[in-house]
Chain A
Amino acid sequence: MGLDKIGIAKRIAQEVKDGTYINLGIGIPTLVANFIPENINVVLQSENGLLGIGPFPEEEEVDADLINAGKQTVTTTAGSSLFSSSESFEMIRGGHVDLTILGAMEVSENGDIANWKIPGKMVKGMGGAMDLVASADNIIVAMQHCSRSGQSKLLEACSLPITGLNCVKKVVTDMAVLDVLPDGGFKLLERAPGVSVEEIQNATAGKLIVEGEIPEMQIG
């Protein structure tokens, strides 16, 4: 039931618009790059200091001095540029990056996001996520609808330490595509193939808004 990670990445790739600069977070967001249609031209930003992330290298092309923000070896595209981490965040803070796609542990119905720490248990650090969510105009979250223990990750209010307030615009999960409304609430836009509205309702702890027939996602 529901989409796998590839399916989530494929669905998010449909949100990508031609001629934009995009920052992809670690995990599922990184996979999105593989499914952007060829007629859509975008430039991917890596916050360590690269505009124009290319595909993973061939074995003989691997360069220790060329990695993405997930520390994976990458290549550069024709027309790429390299810069310092402070300039990278000048681009982000200055509003020059059009779209940010990142993972989350929790999202609240007013668009708050939590993704950097579980008190007493796990600390990854916020990395660039706090800067990105505080400055990006358009933020899409890619995540599983529920945690491994079956708890909803779409909540009325986040229980974990917050990464940013009122910032998430859209959530794509293994079960659904949802808009976060400016006045609060998750508006159900699409269902994953084979997933019912009732199942999505049961898996969503925050306020879910369902209007009319909800279409199934079209995943190519």
Chain B
Amino acid sequence: MSRQANRGTESKKMSSELFTLTYGALVTQLCKDYENDEDVNKQLDKMGYNIGVRLIEDFLARSNVGRCHDFRETADVIAKVAFKMYLGITPSITNWSPAGDEFSLILENNPLVDFVELPDNHSSLIYSNLLCGVLRGALEMVQMAVEAKFVQDTLKGDGVTEIRMRFIRRIEDNLPAGEE
């Protein structure tokens, strides 16, 4: 694989089914390994965080976006460039808080959940929680502490999937807070 060579030019095509099934296998394995859904959610978030802190480098190298001047610009880049690049979807940005430090990403269709139906005994599982971790990890690497969480999920019967993002603070020192 000559990934390094064509980074920055075109994005690779891969089967979305393979991707969806791989993620499904990952989540169900976690469900088997951990007793309760809370732990699985936490684990997914942690895994996402670890992906995010690496993915941001790839993202910056490939996308050529510059430094964002405010949180609104960041939101635009996340929705229109990052989600497009990695998941092939463009979520819409809505529900800005008056202070401009909170917004919602609305995902019309979430490629992670294509075939999924949550069984009744996993009602508190946040299936796509990995995404929140990725967002948190990636933004942390560019000196932004954010909180991301799902507030609506199509798996739980909502019409759309909504990720609520909240800006906490700028991280002054360039060292990321250690995560085990």
Whether chains A and B associate is: no
